[in-house]
């Protein structure tokens, strides 16, 4: 049954990466428990605009849990107090009437704040670019589909490819490590025959780029796996470590 909430929203405001940020609190009333978190933020922004105040900048696109842009740190958790969801899939029924909700951007040196709740995640794009290309020609679609791949291996590769690059793993990690993201991207190719040709170079270059960009090291607390909206397994990190060691010993 639909009900309504009156809430206090404590939001991080920051004009730019070199500016000093601060928290500001706002009241929102009569918020439907059937509303998504981003819909609540829309309502708050409409209220601010009507009051001739600057709206809160936050990132979003598909609002279907696919793009990974809705990267908000809510009440101490990436994407908020629910499991296996992105922020756009978080509903207000997860909160209580009269509650204060604290909303922050991802906190990582490699993800500088652009404005308010929006961070620059182009570091992930640079890691992907460092991984390079696949040189194996498979011909047309029928030819590619004829490459024999065991079902369990194909499923593992697809599970790894499910990573949407939202950065929740980085936000959850006490060291701001990107190991879960990098390992997922390495695994989705390392498991398949098409990705074997560049596998050693790919792992080495992506790990090197990750370190250059200021991401921390992995200490195996598995917080990344817990907060990942797509259930990416830390077993990928073990695979990344193996691929990286292969690249080191092959020289």
Residue with tokens 């929006």: 118
The residue among 65, 100, 115 that closes a domain is 115
What's 90's DSSP letter? -
Mean pLDDT within 130-153: 77
**How large is the average pLDDT for residues 148-153?**
89
Determine the average pLDDT of the residues in 171-189: 96
pLDDT at 250: 66
- For 180-229, give the secondary structure using H, E and C: HHHHHHHHHHHCCHHHCCCHHHHHHHHHHHHHHCCCECCCCCCHHHHHCC
pLDDT of residue 251: 57
Count structural domains, the chain.
2
Instruction: Based on the fold, state whether residues 147 and 168 are members of the same structural domain.
Output: yes
Are residues 236 and 195 part of one domain?
yes
Q: Give 141's Cβ-side CA count (13 Å radius).
A: 0
d(CA 44, CA 131): 41
Q: What's the confidence (pLDDT) of residue 4?
A: 97
**5: phi then psi, degrees, rounded to nearest 5:** -125, 145
Considering the domain architecture, whether residues 75 and 126 belong to the same structural domain is answered as: no
Is pLDDT of 152 > 80? yes
Q: What tokens appear for 244 in the block? A: 């990286």
Which residue range is the domain that position 239 belongs to? 122-249
pLDDT at 149: 87
The CATH number assigned to the domain holding 236 equals 1.10.1060.10
- Bridge partners (DSSP) of residue 24 are 11
Q: For residues 206 and 130, is the Cβ–Cβ distance under 8 A?
A: yes
Looking at residue 11, what is its pLDDT?
Answer: 98
What would the two tokens of residue 215 be?
Answer: 């991401």
Mean pLDDT, residues 77-91: 97
Q: What is the pLDDT of residues 209-247, one digit of tens each?
A: 999 999 999 989 999 999 999 999 999 999 999 989 887
pLDDT at 169 over 70: yes
Average model confidence (pLDDT) for the chain?
93
Query: Rounded distance, CA 104 to CA 187, Å?
Result: 31
Most confident of 125-129, 150-154, 218-222, 240-244: 125-129
CB 125 within 8 A of CB 185: no
Residue 144 pLDDT > 70: no
Average pLDDT over residues 149-156: 92
Residue 223 C-alpha from the chain's centroid: 13
Q: Which regions of the chain does DSSP assign to beta strands (E)?
A: 4-13, 22-32, 73-74, 77-78, 100-104, 113-115, 118-119
Identify which of 106, 109, 220, 237 has the alpha carbon closest to the alpha carbon of residue 182: 237
pLDDT value of position 51: 97
Whether 153 and 235 share a structural domain: yes
Q: Are residues 66 and 76 in contact, defined by beta-carbon separation less than 8 angstroms?
A: no
> In this structure, what CATH number is given to the domain that contains residue 33?
3.10.20.30
Cα four-point dihedral sign 146, 149, 151, 154: negative
């Amino acid at each position: 049954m639909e009900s309504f909430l009156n809430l206090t929203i404590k939001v991080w405001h920051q004009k730019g990466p070199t500016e000093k940020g601060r928290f500001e609190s706002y009241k929102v009333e009569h918020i439907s428990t059937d509303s998504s978190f981003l819909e609540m933020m829309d309502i708050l922004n409409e209220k601010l605009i009507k009051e001739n105040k600057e709206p809160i900048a936050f990132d979003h696109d598909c609002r279907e849990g696919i793009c990974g842009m809705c990267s908000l740190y809510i009440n101490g958790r990436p994407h908020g107090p629910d499991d296996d969801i992105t922020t756009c899939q978080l509903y207000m029924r997860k909160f209580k009437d009269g509650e204060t909700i604290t909303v922050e951007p991802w906190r990582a040196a490699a993800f500088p704040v652009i404005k308010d709740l929006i961070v620059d995640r182009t570091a992930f794009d640079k890691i992907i670019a460092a991984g390079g290309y696949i040189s194996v020609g498979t011909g047309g679609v029928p030819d590619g589909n004829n490459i024999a791949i065991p079902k369990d291996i194909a499923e593992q590769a697809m599970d790894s490819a499910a990573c949407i690059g939202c950065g929740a793993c980085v936000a959850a990690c006490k060291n701001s490590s990107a190991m879960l993201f990098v390992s997922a991207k390495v695994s989705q190719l390392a498991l398949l025959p098409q990705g074997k040709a560049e596998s050693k170079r790919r792992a080495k270059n992506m790990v090197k780029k990750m370190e250059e960009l200021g991401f921390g090291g992995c200490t195996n607390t598995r917080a990344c796996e817990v907060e990942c909206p797509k259930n990416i397994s830390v077993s990928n990190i073990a695979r990344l470590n193996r691929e990286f060691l292969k690249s080191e010993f092959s020289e």
